[in-house]
Amino acid sequence: MTNCLDFRREKLADPRHLSPGALAHMSDCAACRGFSAEINENEAQLAAALDVPVPEGLAERIVLRRRAGARNVAKASPRLWAMAATVVLTFAFGFQQWKDFSSQDYARLAIEHVMHEPESFTSTRLADPQLFRSVMHNFGGEMQASLGKVRFMKLCPVPDGTGWHIVFETEQGELATLILIPAKRMQSQREQATVGGWTALARPGGQGYYAVITQSPETLGKVDELVRQRVRWRG
Amino acid sequence: MSLFSQRQFDQAARAYSADLYRYAYWLCRDRFVAEELVQETFARAWKNWDSLEDLAAAKPWLITILRNEHARLYERKRLDYTDDDPQELDLPSAAQAGSHLELEQLVEALPETYREPLVLQVLGGYECKEIAEMLGTTEGAVMTRLTRPRQALRAHLSDPAKARVAQ
């Protein structure tokens, strides 16, 4: 005979597969029906949170790889190892290629990161000005005035740690990305790159360096100026 | 490999790659590593495709391969399971995540020992017994590892302020 404790134990361990005894108990116990409804609601939220978007064309790339002769695993594995170590990739038309991160090309790497996260322009995430200010402060930047409306913030894996990926809308309505990379010192005072229709400018700042990425050199110039005017970097 | 095997493999790739990707993502929490893990999983699976006797068992078999690839990637023989009570774990509070507390962050903050079976069950729909077989552990251990994070998530979902008080 299932009692309330048994029912809750079962429900928490596997909400979708209850035993006949648990189901019978639930039909007789209003409190456990309420508990069940609450857990079901949590499960739905959990499922939605876990349902991350799958890269477009993933299955077809797997099939193509098999058709291409199922490249031997020994060749592929080092790339995976390298990626786990640095998590930076080049991505264009479904083709992925490892690039050695010993390169000092910080602006280009920032563009590649943005190209890999297109949802950053269509999603709203942690769009909290106070949180942005706090993130900037922790990175070593004091906001003298707002850069614009923050739309997306995410802590992303970068070589040797994590960095912040921030998308904001300027007062002129232009979208710009700001990447904060700690613990990496640039050799130069500025680095610019243009890749795949994106343009980026990296500068030393705070605990490492930051990069501004936009879709046009004109916007980049304006946003770079905005950041330089409105953020005072410590250190 | 026969044409039949090739077709079977392609069907499996189309049927399971999305689920495997999500599982991989929640293991490593990086979309690029996740895709590579899935690619490697299928590359290895294809190499050993003839050893798959029952196509119905393909998905759990692929999950096992992926899990091994992930463990190999991080040079671990096995996952580091913990019996800590997640009620006492450092789940992100509303204060830490600003006013936009997200369930995703709560899940990310779960230790792998809890996160992995939870993902397998919520996304894969597996029963405790099946998860135990995949993870090479007992059904009782899996039940515990599923119950605790749900209790913790329930506490946070029902009363996010509690997390702030606990800080």
Chain B residues lying within 8 Å of A89, measured CB to CB: 32
CB spacing of B43 vs A9 below 8 angstroms: no
Q: Summarize the confidence of residues A126-153 as an average pLDDT.
A: 87
The DSSP symbol for A52 reads P
Chain A: nearest CA to B160, how far in angstroms? 14
Is the sign of the CA dihedral B73, B78, B80, B86 positive or negative?
positive
Tell me if ipTM is over 0.90.
no
Say how many C-beta atoms besides its own lie within 10 A of residue B45's C-beta. Answer: 24
CA distances (Å), origin B57, targets B5, B16, B120? 15, 12, 15
Chain B residues lying within 8 Å of A61, measured CB to CB: 39
Distance CA B77, CA B91 (A): 27
Chain B CB within 8 Å of residue A145 CB: no
Q: Which residue in A has a C-alpha nearest to residue B115's C-alpha?
A: A50
Confidence of residue A137 (pLDDT cuts 50, 70, 90): confident
Distance CA A209, CA B46 (A): 43
Please report the pLDDT score of residue B83 as a whole number. Answer: 45
Is residue A176 helix, strand or coil? strand
Distance CA B4, CA B28 (A): 33
The DSSP symbol for B24 reads H
Neighbouring-strand partners of residue A210: A180, A203
Please report the pLDDT score of residue B108 as a whole number. Answer: 81
Report the residue of A19, A43, A50 to disrupt the B interface, i.e. the one with the largest count of B CBs within 10 Å: A50
Chain B CB within 8 Å of residue A77 CB: yes
Chain B CB within 8 Å of residue A127 CB: yes
Chain A residues lying within 8 Å of B26, measured CB to CB: 50, 52
Q: Summarize the confidence of residues B34-49 as an average pLDDT.
A: 90
Q: Summarize the confidence of residues A133-141 as an average pLDDT.
A: 86
Q: Which of B38, B97, B127 sits opposite A58 (nearest CB)?
A: B38
* Encoded tokens for A136: 């900037």
CB spacing of B6 vs A89 below 8 angstroms: no
Please report the pLDDT score of residue A1 as a whole number. Answer: 80
CB spacing of B74 vs A84 below 8 angstroms: yes
Q: Summarize the confidence of residues B34-63 as an average pLDDT.
A: 89
Residue-wise pLDDT for B103-122, tens only, equals 777 888 888 899 999 999 99
Please report the pLDDT score of residue A130 as a whole number. Answer: 83
Chain B CB within 8 Å of residue A49 CB: yes
Chain A residues lying within 8 Å of B99, measured CB to CB: 128
Domains of chain A: 4-98 (no CATH), 106-233 (3.40.1000)
CB spacing of A14 vs B127 below 8 angstroms: yes
Residue-wise pLDDT for A20-44, tens only, equals 999 999 999 999 999 999 999 989 8
Owner of token pair 């997640």: B86
Q: Which DSSP string corresponds to A180-194?
A: EEET---SSS-EEEE
